[in-house]
Amino acid sequence: MSDTHAQTVAYVRESMTEQREPPLSETGVYKWIHGNMLSTPLNVFLTLVSLWVIWTVLSHVLPWAVFGIWDAASLTECRAIRDELYGADGSVACWAVISERWQQLLFGFYPPEGYWRPVLAFVLFLAAIAPILFSSLPRKLLWLTLAAPFVMFWLIWGGTIWGPICIALGFVLGWAAIHYSGPRIGTLAAVILAIVLPLIYWLVIAGPLAQALSTVLPIGLNPVASREMGGFMLALIIGISGIVLSLPLGIVLALGRQSDLFLINKVSVIFIEVIRGVPLIVWLFTASLLLNYFLPPGTNFDLMLRVIIMVTLFSSAYIAEVVRGGLAALAKGQYEAADALGLDYWKSMRLVVLPQALKISIPGIVNTFIGLFKDTTLVVFIGLLDPIGLSNTIRASTDWNGIYWELFVFIGLCFFIFCFSMGRYSLFLEKTLRREHR
């Protein structure tokens, strides 16, 4: 047997060879460049054309941006400095308008001594949303998440601290109505009670209670009117409010559109189709102008609040269709499995169906949020001073009349940072959920 084996096997290695580095063509930057840019003659041609385009753009933009002027009090002074340093034909940016007016672009006409209030509110928002975005954080931080909206409102608008506290008590009443009366009167009746009871409390009791408490114990900040807010602070207030409020409302509408109950189904369908069928700018004009005709004389309905409501309703209609797509993509067996476990409708949706449908809908939901945040610039058409509106105000002054690109580049960069961050978190969440379900 050994002789036959020796005759059929020409060579048998008795020791392992030493490990060696892979060849240069199979690793590192060289492999990436060859595989992505030089793999075929067409890719080589497209790479050369792309490099030429990038070089042409950067050779004009980088000198204009890098050698810009930061210290000047007006466009005329900025041009005089440019003529002295680079000549009359020099092409450099006048970033002095940003260093001169950055507070106005960020905060609008908010009182300068109170800039710390919106900054603190934004930091509080980041801390409050972190437990929702990252599951690794302690669940106890969710108490901060619940309290943050009321504290942020008080910090930004000011006034007595008892107003937000009394408003928060209404939500506590709604929770108590569901928690304590649900087992006795049924889920549907408890939900109706949880809606009606807080509304009655807010309309009748909350205002007088807040005034009485502020009289006894006056604690508060200097009030700031909504008309004094503008810039990116305004965009963040409207955008964050619309995003936070439209997601649960959109989920409810999506479930309503798939409901077997005729009335709930048709109301959800009509709402979604009417809202989606009309441009957002029309709804903003409706909130700004037409809504006053349907309110009692002398009613003071804050314009920013009206805009937030319209933006929330508009976004929720799109969120509803995105979530409905996730529900439709879910296999029918998941619904049947939830029924087989003996779960009622709400438990099956909360524990089985919605987690999977929302996972499928993540890209569409984040895309809708990004579009909503960028659409906040439309409020300029109804008189609110968003960053675009403030740029027009700055350019209307005699000091900066005639400046364009610098303001628009700064505004675009700020919007890009927020939208890019949302997009990257979407990718992070998709990868995290994909790993957890392997």
Three-state secondary structure call for residue 195? helix
- pLDDT tens for residues 194-206? 888 888 888 888 8
Q: What is the pLDDT of residue 5?
A: 52
> What is the spatial distance between Cα 399 and Cα 59, in angstroms, rounded to a whole number?
30
Cβ atoms 407, 394 nearer than 8 A: yes
- How much is the pTM? 0.83
Q: What is the pLDDT of residue 182?
A: 67
Q: What is the pLDDT of residue 9?
A: 57
Q: Which helix (H) or strand (E) holds 25?
A: none
Phi, psi dihedrals of residue 221, rounded to the nearest 5°: -120, 160
Q: What is the pLDDT of residue 238?
A: 93
Positions in the chain short of pLDDT 50: 1
- Where are the domains positioned within the chain? 2-66, 113-159+226-436, 160-221
In angstroms, the Cα distances linking 367 to 231, 322, 328, 380 are 23, 10, 19, 23
Q: What is the pLDDT of residue 316?
A: 93
Q: What is the pLDDT of residue 10?
A: 64
Look at residues 357, 288, 361 and name the one whose alpha carbon lies nearest to residue 322.
361
Q: What is the pLDDT of residue 242?
A: 92
> What is the spatial distance between Cα 108 and Cα 173, in angstroms, rounded to a whole number?
37
> What is the spatial distance between Cα 370 and Cα 210, in angstroms, rounded to a whole number?
37
Q: What is the pLDDT of residue 123?
A: 93
Q: What is the pLDDT of residue 295?
A: 65
Fold that domain 113-159+226-436 belongs to in CATH: MetI-like fold (1.10.3720)
Angle between helices 354-375 and 405-436 (to 10 degrees): 180
- pLDDT tens for residues 92-101? 888 888 888 8
Cβ atoms 386, 377 nearer than 8 A: yes
Q: How far is CA 155 from the centre of its chain?
A: 20
- pLDDT tens for residues 9-34? 566 677 777 777 777 666 777 777 87
